[in-house]
Amino acid sequence: MKFAGIINYGTAIPRYRLKVADIARAWGKNPDDIIGSLGVREKSVPGTDEDSVTLAVEAGFSALSNSGVSRTEIEAVFVGSESHPYAVNPTATIVGGLLGIGTNYLATDLEFACKAGTVGMQLLAGLIGSKQIKYGLAIGVDTAQSKTHDSLEYASSSGSAAYLMGSGSVAAELLDYASFSSDTPDFWRRDGVSYPSHAGRFTGEPAYFAHVTGAAKLLMDKTKIIPEKITNCVFHMPNAKFPKDAAKRLGFTPEQLKPSLVVGEIGNPYSASSLLGLAATLDQAKPGDLIFMVSFGSGAGSDAFLWKVNKEIIFVQEARKKNKLRVQDQIKNKFYIDYTRYLRQTHKI
């Protein structure tokens, strides 16, 4: 194996859901217009006692359970998020402490908008591939922030995905990866400001599509792979339309994208978006499948990965199914709240 692979993975999606139609009606908008434009019907909402730490820990526990890896063998914990609870006080050490990892590990918080979690995967691939460490945990998590009556409010959501990575017997092997980056300020939040700003339609062509297709083409050229040889594809999901468009531009079919497309039911959990899409795909993957994945982070950049699924995935899937930990299980486990309660829980109004 050239780099590293996924030994196990865990996900966490809050139970609370808010219907996009309720947000639209609260602001005098036509629900059908909003839902039709975004392709998002409802979004996951954190409870009053849920933040990026609690969601990261829940996903981390799931990734470590039934993995055969002792928690004290974990030598790196990387947590990617744009909603770290503290400006100064690392999320990664809190998560590592609550997971019982011990003290002999490298901990760091990562920020790169919605691709901070995949940055952690790349860092672990380098450390594991160079034999500096044996096992590491990469987590993408967010309790996404958005102003009321802003277009982001309809899709910004919450969730987490954690990936235990190592070498040897792995459920999914990392065959190769590539990155595409540029200074494209389509989305930003200044220090001390509660909610992010964005450049409207500018977030599409020069930001999302330029970087997602750019990273994808770099990896395709590097690996000589073509869409017809790939089983499934995964893209960052700010809404349901962008990943469908990106897949079509790159030559993928709707069937290749479908298993990962969870945005309609949970919205966009920022740093967890593409990682939850990957988890949903792995939940139904078969040995020998090839999975092509591309993240996106505003600012801007994309990371592209090519994964090969191994026979070990069967044991991972059986455990997740038995314990109702699959992404689709968590999507179905929901409780609807109204817009007023949503404001109390997320905006403390």
Count of helix runs (H) and strand runs (E) in the chain: 13, 14
CA nearest 325: which of 96, 59, 47, 50?
A: 59
Catalytic site residue from 73, 84, 114, 211: 114
pLDDT beyond 90 at 199: no
Q: List the catalytic residue out of 50, 73, 75, 82.
A: 82
Q: How far apart are CA 288 and CA 278, in angstroms?
A: 16
Predicted confidence at residue 119, as pLDDT, reads 98
Cα Dmax for the chain: 57
**Per-residue pLDDT tens over the stretch 104-143:** 999 999 999 999 999 999 999 999 999 999 999 999 999 9
- Cα torsion for 34, 264, 205, 221, to the nearest 10°? -170
DSSP class of residue 46 equals -
Distance CA 169, CA 148 (A): 47
Q: 125: which strand partners?
A: none
Residues 6+ apart with CB under 8 A from 21: 31, 34, 35, 41
Residue 194, pLDDT score: 76
Count of other CB atoms within 10 angstroms of residue 254? 10
Mean pLDDT of the region 67-75: 96
Assigned token pair, 165? 């990575």
73, 236, 265, 312: which is the annotated catalytic residue? 236
Which tokens go with 51? 């933040």
Share of the chain above pLDDT 70, in %: 98
Length of the chain: 349
Residue 201's pLDDT band (boundaries 50, 70, 90)? Answer: low
Position 27 confidence tier, pLDDT thresholds 50, 70, 90 = very high
76: which 2 tokens?
């790196």
User: Which residues share a beta bridge with 299?
Assistant: 184
Delineate the domains of the chain, giving CATH numbers in brackets.
Answer: 5-171+313-346 (3.40.47.10), 174-309 (3.40.47.10)
> DSSP states of 166-216 as a string?
ESSS-SEEEEEEEEEEEEE-SEE--TT-SS-EE-GGGGIIIIIIHHHHHHH
- Most confidently predicted of 184-193, 201-210, 327-336: 327-336
82 is catalytic: yes
Assess whether pLDDT exceeds 90 at residue 190: no
CA distances from residue 91 to 15, 79, 297 in whole angstroms, order as listed: 22, 7, 19
Mean of pLDDT over the chain? 95
Q: What is the C-alpha separation between 167 and 155, in angstroms, rounded?
A: 36
pLDDT at 224 over 70: yes
Over 80: is that where the pLDDT of 231 sits? yes
pLDDT reported for residue 273: 98
Helix (H) or strand (E) segment spanning residue 328 = helix 327-332
Average the pLDDT over 256-277 and give the result: 98
Strands laid side by side in the 232-235 sheet: 106-110, 74-80, 135-143, 158-166, 5-12, 172-184, 299-309, 290-294, 232-235
* Residue 271 near residue 140 (C-beta atoms within 8 A): yes
| Residue 193 reports pLDDT greater than 80 | no
Integer-rounded Cα radius of gyration of the chain = 19
The answer to whether 236 is a known catalytic residue is: yes
**Can you say how many angstroms the Cα of residue 43 is from the centroid of all Cα atoms in its chain?**
15
Predicted pLDDT of residue 64: 97
At residue 332, does pLDDT exceed 80? yes
Structure tokens at 212: 């997602």
pLDDT bracket for residue 203 (50, 70, 90): confident
pLDDT score of 188: 66
Q: Are 203 and 262 in contact (CB under 8 A)?
A: no
pLDDT band at 2 (very low <50, low <70, confident <90, very high): low
Rounded CA gap, 208 and 119, in Å? Answer: 17
Alpha-carbon gap, residue 37 to 34, rounded angstroms: 5
Amino acid at 296: F
